[in-house]
Structure formats: structure tokens, C-alpha cells
């Protein structure tokens, strides 16, 4: 591990705290955890699924931090109370998603080792920017790009999933994420007119930086053309995933950004054909 890194390990406290959490989100315990059967899976498929779901738990964990940072910025920017209240639910949703993914990894044989630097889990805007521009930067990165792009991909994975527990977990996540994906555009219905041309240029560059980061992760996805349904304990077949990701970037991210006068295209450094 590099200096500052820690292993991504999670825990539940249990007792009264867990009961209160279960009361808030009873749907977690209602998923078909007992019926999970991986007896047909090969050791390779199990190992790959453990990695996939540990990585998914980590991404949900990061998204939780991103939602919390966005919420703080929305409050600092004095965004409308009802809009802030809407966003206050998101960090809890993400913690539920963390639990779902981590618990599945556990049932597949345990989380795969994953090292990360908890001090740099998410990037924060420059404190020099105005509170409104800081909020808009976080919303454009985390919601207009991050969440808006993850929804069609999660939905595709849900439809592709055959195993009942995995299908139920993805269905739960998709249900929550619909509100997250819509939030960025609602926010800009309020915030767009508060920004001048220079701010919009800043936002276009930040959107481009986030898109670049997403596109560079695409090249890490191994193309396993012949993954068999019974062995696929995670996401979509890789080629279909990449095709959907590219289409979703156009439809769910670039198009609505352009409609709002924010054009990240001149600032992109990665080819979208990765
Ligand atoms: Fe999530
Ligand atoms: Fe989310």
C-alpha cells in the first residue's frame, strides 16, 4: 500500500443503532438474501464477482461522500430549502447501497482487497470560488455527470441480471438512483441564471474533467465476450456495458448540458470512442 492508504473495510455497529437504521430502510432485510446460491459458479467467476461487488461498494461509498459534500455546499449557497431537503436523503441512500454491495461481496466469499486514501476520497472545489459556484461545481460533477450516467448503466445491469438476489439489489439501487439522476437538472433550473459566462465556462471544464475520468475507467473494463449467464454474478456483459455507457453519455449527460448552455466538448481530452 502507498503512504496514507488504508484497506477498504466496513462494519456495522449493531444493536439499537442497527435497529434504527433498519427502521429507516426496512427494504434491505426484505431482499432474498437466504436464496442466494452460487453452487454453479466457477471459482474464477466467484473471484471476479467478489472484485466487482467490492469495487461497487467502494464506488457507492465515494458517492456517499460526494452527496454529503454537495449537501454541505448547497446549504452554504443558501439553495432553496426544499431543494436542500430533497438532497439530504441521498447520503442515506448511498449508505444503503454500500451495505447491499458489501453484503453481497461477503456472501460471494468476502470482499476483495482494495486500498485507497481516505483523505482524498473525493475532489472538493477550490475554496476561493463563491459558495454558489462551489455548489454548482459539485452538482455538475456528482449529479449531472456521475449520477446521470450511472442510472442507465445500472438499469441495463438490472435487466441483464439473472440471479434473483443480484436482480433485487440492482432494482433497489435503480429505484433510489432515479431521484439522484434527476436532481442535477432540477438544481440547475434554479442555479443556472445565477451564473455568468465565466462561471459557465468553469462548469463546462469541470464537467469535461469528470467525463474524462469516467471515460478513462472504461478502458479498464476487460472485454469478456463469452461470459455465460450462470457465471455472470455481477454486471452486464462487458461489450454491452461499454455500448450503453457511450450512448448514455450522449443522451443523459451531453445533451441536457448543451441544452443549458454548458458545453464540455471542447475541454475533453479523452476520446469518447475509448
Ligand atoms: Fe448509489
Ligand atoms: Fe446515487
Distance 43 CA to ligand 2 centre (A): 31
What is the DSSP-derived secondary structure letter of residue 250?
Answer: I
Distance (angstroms) between ligand 2 centre and the Cα of 268 equals 24
Taking the centre of ligand 1 as the mean of its atom positions, its distance from the CA of residue 205, in whole angstroms, is 25
What is the distance between the alpha carbons of residues 144 and 254, in angstroms, rounded to a whole number? 9
Phi, psi at residue 144, to the nearest 5°?
Answer: -65, -30
Reported as a pLDDT band with limits 50, 70 and 90, residue 37 is confident
Give the end-to-end CA distance of the chain in Å, rounded to a whole number: 29
CATH number of 254's domain: 1.20.1260.10
Query: What was the pLDDT predicted at 235?
Result: 58
Ligand 1 centroid to Cα of residue 196, in Å, is 32
Ligand nearest to the CA of 183: 2
> Residue 9 falls within a domain, yes or no?
no
Res 273 pLDDT > 70? no
Residue ranges with CB less than 5 Å from ion ligand 1: 60, 94, 97
Kindly give the distance from the C-alpha atom of residue 198 to the centroid of ligand 1, in angstroms, as a whole number.
Answer: 32
Joined together, the cell numbers standing for residue 101 give 454491495
Q: Is residue 26 part of a domain?
A: no
Confidence tier at 271 by pLDDT (50, 70, 90): confident
- Residue 31 within any structural domain of the chain: no
Task: Give the span between the Cα atoms of 150 and 252, in whole angstroms.
Answer: 10
Has residue 228 got a pLDDT over 60? Answer: no
Residue 18 lies in a domain: no
In a domain, 33, yes or no: no
As a whole number, mean pLDDT of residues 67-74 equals 98
For residue 8, what is the DSSP state? -
**Residue 247 vs residues 132, 154, 173, 180: alpha-carbon distances, Å:** 31, 14, 21, 19
The answer to whether residue 49 sits within a structural domain is yes
Spacing, Cα 94 to ligand 1 middle (Å): 5
Range with the lowest mean pLDDT among 18-27, 144-153, 223-232?
A: 223-232
The confidence score (pLDDT) of residue 214 equals 85
Q: How many domains does the chain have?
A: 1
Judge residue 49's burial from the number of C-beta atoms within 10 Å of its C-beta, 0-12 exposed, 13-18 middle, 19 or more buried.
buried
pLDDT of residue 230 exceeding 80, the answer is: no
10: in domain: no
Confidence of residue 219 (pLDDT cuts 50, 70, 90): low
Strands (E), 91-189: 115-116
Please say whether the beta carbons of 207 and 215 come within 8 A: no
The domain of 60 spans: 40-267
Instruction: Give me the pLDDT at residue 226, please.
Output: 43
Question: Which residues fall within 8 angstroms of residue 217, CB to CB, at 6 or more apart?
Answer: none
Could you read off the pLDDT of 174-215 as tens digits, one per residue? 999 999 999 999 999 999 999 999 999 999 999 999 999 988
Mean residue pLDDT across the chain: 90
Tell whether 241 is covered by a domain. yes
Residues in the chain: 274
Amino acid at each position: 500500500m502507498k503512504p496514507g492508504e488504508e484497506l477498504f473495510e466496513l462494519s456495522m455497529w449493531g444493536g439499537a443503532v442497527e435497529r434504527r437504521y433498519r427502521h429507516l430502510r426496512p427494504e434491505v432485510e426484505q431482499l432474498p438474501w437466504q436464496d442466494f446460491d452460487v453452487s454453479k459458479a466457477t471459482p474464477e467467476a466467484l473471484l471476479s464477482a467478489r472484485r466487482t461487488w467490492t469495487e461497487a461498494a467502494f464506488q457507492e461509498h465515494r458517492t456517499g461522500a460526494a452527496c454529503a459534500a454537495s449537501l454541505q455546499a448547497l446549504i452554504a449557497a443558501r439553495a432553496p430549502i426544499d431543494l436542500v431537503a430533497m438532497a439530504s436523503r441521498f447520503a442515506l441512500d448511498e449508505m444503503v447501497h454500500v451495505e447491499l454491495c458489501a453484503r453481497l461481496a461477503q456472501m460471494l466469499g468476502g470482499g476483495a482487497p482494495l486500498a485507497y486514501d481516505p483523505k482524498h476520497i473525493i475532489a472538493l472545489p477550490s475554496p476561493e470560488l463563491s459558495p454558489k459556484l462551489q455548489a454548482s461545481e459539485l452538482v455538475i460533477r456528482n449529479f449531472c455527470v456521475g449520477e446521470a450516467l450511472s442510472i442507465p448503466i445500472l438499469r441495463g445491469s438490472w435487466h441483464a441480471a439473472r440471479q434473483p438476489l443480484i436482480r433485487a439489489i440492482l432494482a433497489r439501487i435503480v429505484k433510489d438512483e432515479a431521484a439522484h439522476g434527476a436532481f442535477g437538472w432540477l438544481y440547475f433550473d434554479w442555479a443556472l441564471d445565477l451564473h455568468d459566462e465565466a462561471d459557465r465556462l468553469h462548469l463546462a471544464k469541470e464537467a469535461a474533467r469528470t467525463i474524462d475520468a469516467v471515460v478513462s475507467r472504461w478502458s479498464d473494463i476487460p472485454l469478456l465476450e463469452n461470459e455465460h449467464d450462470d457465471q455472470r454474478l455481477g454486471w452486464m456483459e462487458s461489450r454491452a456495458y461499454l455500448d450503453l455507457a457511450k450512448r448514455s453519455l450522449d443522451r443523459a449527460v451531453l445533451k441536457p448540458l448543451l441544452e443549458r448552455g454548458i458545453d464540455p466538448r471542447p475541454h475533453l481530452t479523452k476520446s469518447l470512442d475509448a
